[in-house]
Structure 1
Amino acid sequence: MNGRAPKAIIIDQDRAMKNAIAIVFPNSRHRYCMWHIMRKLPEKLGSHAAYDTGLKTAIQSVLYDTQSAEEFEEKWGQLLHKYNLTDNVWLQGLYNERSFWVPVYLKDVFWAGMSTTQRSKSMNAFFYGYVHSGTTLKEFVDQFDNALRKKVEVETTADFHYCNQTIPCASAFKIEKQFQSLYTNAKFKEVQREVWGMIMCNPTLVSTQGCISTFDVFEEISTSDEHVKIVKFSVYYNEEECEVKCTCALFEMRGIVCRYAFRVCQMKYIHELPEKYVLNR
């Protein structure tokens, strides 16, 4: 790292690590692994009478569907009162440290799309097919070299495809063409998912103050239980700077412009975004 501190760190709920990071990396933003927190829900709240009939879904909604700290505070309080959990020690502890794990408090930091430590997933994927519980130490060393060689081969193949294959644009949206020429195939696929998602987005102009226009963008989302819910995000467009910002904060967290911002760009007949939106990460 050449003496440079990481900008973002994801850890488990380890008190010693939290204290050490605050001392050694005072300017780094760190968060708790969301996966480790959510996997404790059945253990901590599974005995609640309403756990499978509303409580679990309500918790997920408060965490993932709130767009501001104020909205989270309000819905969290309503959740505790509705399910009589105001005295729950575990939830109280999580609330006290909400800035370390609740998504709405972490939207201003680039996390490259990660919310978990991902150690198990990445290591399992790396060694899959090469080692097993009966692998000896000598075999492990040989298989590690084979796994590493395979990883390099896959990356080389991906580089070759990037240089020799072009993923066609899925629409006549000119901004999509802009990203196609600058992004790798893997990253461009992420952009295309947002372009495809524009079809379900409906923007409405809310207000205009000087060069700043504010839009509410509504999207229909199908849930896992085959229901449809409407979500709303606010998009701010600065006409002088050709700057667009959405409350979903996908660009801030992942470096990918969201479908809601794209939809407003389409509505305003914007054909090209400033370089910071395509070369920022």
Structure 2
Amino acid sequence: MNAFFDGYVHAKTNLKEFVDQFDNALKKKIENEISSDFHLFSVSIPCISRSLIEKRFQELYTNAKFRKIQQQIMGVLDMDPSLLRHDGVTKTYLVEDEIRVEEFTKHVTYYVDFNVEECDAKCSCGLFQMRGILCRHILAIFKCNGIKSLPDRYILDRWRKDIKRRYTLIHNSYDPGSQREDTNRYSSLFNICYQMITLAAGSKDHTKDATKK
């Protein structure tokens, strides 16, 4: 919030000034978003491998997040996972890694549980849970098991470049005509969905039915 209001809204502000300054901040945010969208679709960062998984991230993710994914992909070269146990459909791997802090290097062992049938992996490093980015340890396990296609669960909407950000659909006086039409449609659909959610949440059966539909 501080970053959003910085340069627009100040501590000693009355209500009218706040509304005007908020509108200016939102206007600037929308302009930056439009500029960013143009850059995302006009400039593509090349892949560093022949991995179809990397190619998938390149197609869907913003350049900033794709760079972070590439850092993890580069780290796969140093990974040499060893199978600890195989229990039914679940394989547990040990993955040796190094953590560098300034001039110090610490050796760390991570555990990766991999469900073969569901192609679901969880790493003790917790990178995906904390930051939404697949770690090199899981990517190394995918490579060991010949996984070429990335499961949808690892593609997060918040990093995708083809999804319009919700704050661009908030009403503000700066909206051009075409943007205002999008905003009105969004508001109408949102109100319908909100009513549906309110009713569906009343019981498990209704929630299950609404989710299916």
Specify the TM-score bucket, using the shorter chain as the normaliser: 0.5 to 0.7
Structure 2 residue corresponding to 1:162, chosen from 40, 44, 53: 40
SS of 1:253's equivalent?
A: helix
Give 1:142 shift: 4.8
- Residue 205 of structure 1: aligned partner: 83
Q: Partner residue of 1:52? A: none
Q: 1:212 to 1:280 in 2, by over 3 A?
A: farther
Q: Secondary structure at the match of 1:181?
A: helix
Larger helix share, 1 or 2:
2
Q: Where do 1:251-266 residues align within 5 Å?
A: 251-266=128-143
Distance 2:111 2:100 in 1: 20
Structure 2 CA distance for partners of 1:232 and 1:277, relative to 1, 3 Å: same
Alpha-carbon contact 2:121-2:138 (below 8 Å) kept: yes
Q: TM-score, normalised by structure 1?
A: 0.48
- For the residue of structure 2 that corresponds to 1:218, the secondary structure is strand
* Structure-2 residue corresponding to 1:190: 68
**1:273 and 2:115 equivalent?**
no
Structure 2 unaligned blocks of 5 or more: 159-213
2:109 equivalent among 214, 217, 232: 232
Q: Name the aligned partner's letter for residue 275 of structure 1.
A: D
Q: CA deviation at 1:190?
A: 3.1
Deviation at 1:136, TM superposition (A): 6.2
Distance 1:227 1:251 in 2: 25
- Amino acid corresponding to residue 198 of structure 1 in structure 2: V
> Which residue in 2 is equivalent to 1:241?
118
Shift of 1:154: 0.7
Residues matched between the structures, number: 157
d(CA) in 1 for partners of 2:92, 2:45: 33
Gaps of 5+ in 1: 1-121
Residues 129 and 200 (structure 1), Cα distance of their counterparts in 2 relative to 1, 3 Å cut: farther
Distance across 1 between alignment mates of 2:58 and 2:108: 28
Shift of 1:150: 1.4
Query: Quick one: structure 1 residues 275 and 131, their matched pair in 2 at CA, closer, same or farther if it must change by over 3 Å?
Result: closer
Cα distance, 1:165 vs structure 2: 2.5
TM-score w.r.t. the length of structure 2 is: 0.61
Q: Does 1:222 align with 2:100?
A: yes
